[in-house]
Chains A and B, each alone.
Chain A
Amino acid sequence: MALLDVSQLSIHFGGVKAVQNVSFSIDAGIVYSVIGPNGAGKTTLFNLITGVYTPTSGEIRLDDESIGGKSPNQLATRGVARTFQNLQICMNMSARENVMVGAHLRLDRNLIKAALRFPGLKRRDAEMCEEAAELMRFVGLEKYIEARADSMPYGALKRLEIARALAMKPRLLFLDEPAAGLNPRETIEVDHLVRKVADAGITVVLVEHDMKMVMNLSDRILVLDYGKKLAEGTGEEVRKNPDVIAAYLGAHA
């Protein structure tokens, strides 16, 4: 059975139908990409599934539990993590603390115990501090373990978001254009990183414009255009689909 099952999903903003009747399902353990021209509704689809928006209609099921309309923090408890196309880094914190925030649900959030420095909480926190450093090495940020977030370059912040998401130990990870704005060398690094994440057993859902990266990584691809599902299938199937070619090249076959 699929890990994520989306059926007839729609959202309207006033008269704009940003996503219309989109259905697909994602099996556990694969890399699933969502592509489409600008404004096709990719990020909106992400925002719907990760609880930032509430669907107008349709259903989203995670492990057969309906999750449509649940808030992002409720989804986090179910192992759904994400990164953002426009960076959402806490610039008021250090890089490592940003990663540690990702482990919020795995730590003791008690206020009193924290204020009184209970040894158990402190010990767990120190372990997490080590784990955060480990995660930063995993995503290739070993240079920035002691850095402040606001002193890091753009490409590093992109990977910091991935490290933060991984700190949740998610089952399902949504990456919204992880290579956007990166140079070709950085893009290849992110490509490798996504592969490593997938190999670690995390189901990855990817929105990305870099076709080489998408074709290289994806087990399956969903193509959106004007908020509608245009095609779905393996890279080879999608590449040969005449509708997809038309949408990308602007021709009408």
Chain B
Amino acid sequence: MKKNVFFGLYLIIGLLLVLPFVLPNSFYLDLVIRMAINAVIVLGLNLLIGFAGQISLGHAGFLGIGAYASAVLPTHFGWHPLLAMGAGAAVTGLLAALVARPIFKLKGHYLAMATLGLGIIINIALRNEAQWTGGPDGMPVPAMGLFGFELSSDKHWYWAVALLLSVSVWASLNLIDSPFGRALRALHGSEVAAQVVGVDVVRYKVAIFVLSAVFASLMGSVTAHYGGFVTPNLADFFHSIELVTMVVIGGMASVYGSVIGAVLLTAMPQALATFEGWETVAFGSILMLSMIFMPKGLVPTLAAKFGKGE
């Protein structure tokens, strides 16, 4: 049954090991770091959207909670960054669980609207609580340190993020091919079938929603520490949409698709910079065309074409 599903993971690890030695300058290193951070977020989101068949249009909001927890708590209250990161994730998890219970009794459009609303509320809160968050201008984030070792240079960040990405891909691959993961995919395929074999459908939907939200929050903290500065744009609606687009372009229900989607969409604005004022148009056209010709997303389409399933 299995062609080796981990082949792609080895490829990713291999690439991550080689890249820092072949990239010409720190601009590219920075780009790869941002790609990897996005890839981890998209992996979590794809578990929710692609595998479990649920939608979140407010994921950037969770990112925002994590990022601002890492900015506000150490700055104003002197918390250790790791503690702040954990607190952000805990609050996000709690909030996601609280909101998810009632909305997962709903389906389809309601869920989209509810998560959309949640994301917008978080964003507004971040913009308006200026005495804590710096408002629309954002605020600086203290450096992340651990046992007296400070994550400061790009190289440090690169290896930390590379490790994070590799572990996330590995864990995602494990998860989808487990009883938990099969239950998720089953409730996507047929909710009533999942129920009659004993899957507590609402509980699983809540669990995966919370998991992907916590993932987003943690990576929000990472983004904040890496950038050294956060603005509410990180948490806005357009960023949520961008994340969903990464899932869809790369391929729903595809672990490697998540990585490819994140890599492509993070790189695209750079690649399209030559179009100057027209880059959004070019960006939009590429998205439309890929949806028309590859509605299942890049990786599943190519996998089907070359006859090997993921």
Contacts and interface: CB of A to CB of B under 8 A. Distances in A.
Interface of A: 50, 52, 71-73, 75-77, 81-82, 84, 88-94, 96-98, 100-105, 107-111, 114-117, 121, 125, 129, 146, 148, 164-165, 167-168
A72 B196 contact: yes
Nearest to A114: B178
B211 interface: yes
Contacts of A92: 185, 188-189, 253
B174 A116 contact: yes
User: Could you say which interface size class chain B belongs to?
Assistant: 20 to 34
Nearest to B189: A90
Nearest to B179: A107
B248 to A, nearest CB: 16
Interface centre among B1, B171, B178 (most CB of A within 10 A): B178
Given A73-B200, A107-B179, A93 B186 contact: yes
Interface string B186-230: 101110111111111100000100010000000000000000000
B198 A111 contact: no
Given A73-B200, A90-B185, A84 B171 contact: no
Contacts of A102: 197
10 contacts: A73-B199, A81-B197, A94-B1, A100-B182, A101-B193, A104-B179, A117-B170, A146-B1, A164-B197, A165-B197
A93 B182 contact: yes
Contact of A89 (B170, B193, B195, B211): B193
A114 B174 contact: yes
B193 A88 contact: yes
Contacts of A103: 179, 197
Contacts of A115: 171-172, 174-175, 178
Contacts of A108: 179
B183 A109 contact: yes
A104 B178 contact: no
Residue from B183, B190, B194, B309 with most neighbouring chain A CB atoms (10 Å): B190
B238 interface: no
A93 B182 CA distance: 8
Given A104-B197, A117-B170, 10 more contacts: A72-B192, A73-B196, A84-B192, A84-B193, A88-B193, A90-B194, A93-B186, A101-B182, A101-B183, A116-B174
A98 B187 CA distance: 11
Nearest to B178: A114
B135 interface: no
Interface of B: 1, 170-172, 174-175, 177-183, 185-186, 188-190, 192-201, 207, 211, 253, 309
A111 B197 contact: no
A185 B174 CA distance: 42
A73 B204 CA distance: 12
A72 B183 contact: no
Which of B171, B189, B211 is most buried by chain A, counting CB atoms within 10 A of its CB?
B189
B180 A52 contact: no
B193 A125 contact: no
A89 B190 contact: yes
A167 B179 CA distance: 13
Contact of A104 (B182, B188, B192): B182
B1 to A, nearest CB: 6
A81 B175 contact: no
A146 B177 CA distance: 15
A240 B196 CA distance: 36
Contacts of B199: 73, 101, 104
B189 A96 contact: no
Contacts of A148: 309
